[in-house]
Structure 1
Amino acid sequence: MNQITVYTTNTCPYCTMMTNFLTENGLPFKEVNVQQEPLAANYLANKTGQMGVPQTEVNGQWVLGFDPDRIMQLVK
């Protein structure tokens, strides 16, 4: 089972593209909105050194931005 978490904001078009991509490919994921959860924003900054979204954690690996090819490489 894949562990996928997408970190998003309310105004990010690439976040919507990422969640739509995962949904269309039947990949279950958890969405965390960093605007609504400030602790998640701190977690991202500490884990990846990046504040941009989307950031997607796939089975412990990080994907920055909308990168469907990289997502598909990481899913089992």
Structure 2
Amino acid sequence: MAKVEIYTKFMCPYCTRAKSLLAGKGVEFEEIDITMGGPKRQEMLARANGRSTVPQVFIDGTHVGGSDDLAALERAGKLDPMLAA
């Protein structure tokens, strides 16, 4: 199973949606809470090419984007192969 990381903030509905999609597939993920900013937020900005919205999702170190991007991968049938790697 691929390593999945997701940067989130408290009370973010898009974060909840992305986490629900992953959990529904039985995917374990590392959640990195950046609600209070700090070095982890800076890390996310660097890894996500400056994208500052949450969530930001990474699969095996590859940036896949936010909640809408994750849902689009699922609709296109591309998410499962990425997760199986």
Same fold (TM over 0.5): yes
Contact (CA 8 Å) 1:7, 1:54: kept in 2 or not?
yes
Letter in 2 for 1:70: L
Q: TM-score, normalised by structure 2?
A: 0.78
Is there any run of 5+ residues in structure 1 with no aligned partner, and where?
none
Structure-2 residue corresponding to 1:60: 61
2:71 and 2:62 mapped to 1: Cα distance?
A: 14
Larger Rg over CA atoms: 2
Q: Counterpart of 1:33 in structure 2: which amino acid?
A: D
Deviates more, 1:50-59 or 1:66-75: 66-75
**Structure 2 letter corresponding to 1:60:** G
> Would the aligned equivalents of 2:18 and 2:55 in 1 still touch at CA under 8 Å?
yes
Structure 2 gap segments, 5+ residues each: none
Percent of aligned pairs with the same amino acid: 25
Q: Which runs of 4+ in 1 moved over 6 A?
A: none
For the aligned residues, what is the CA RMSD? 1.6
1:7 is displaced (CA, Å) by 0.5
**Count of aligned positions:** 76
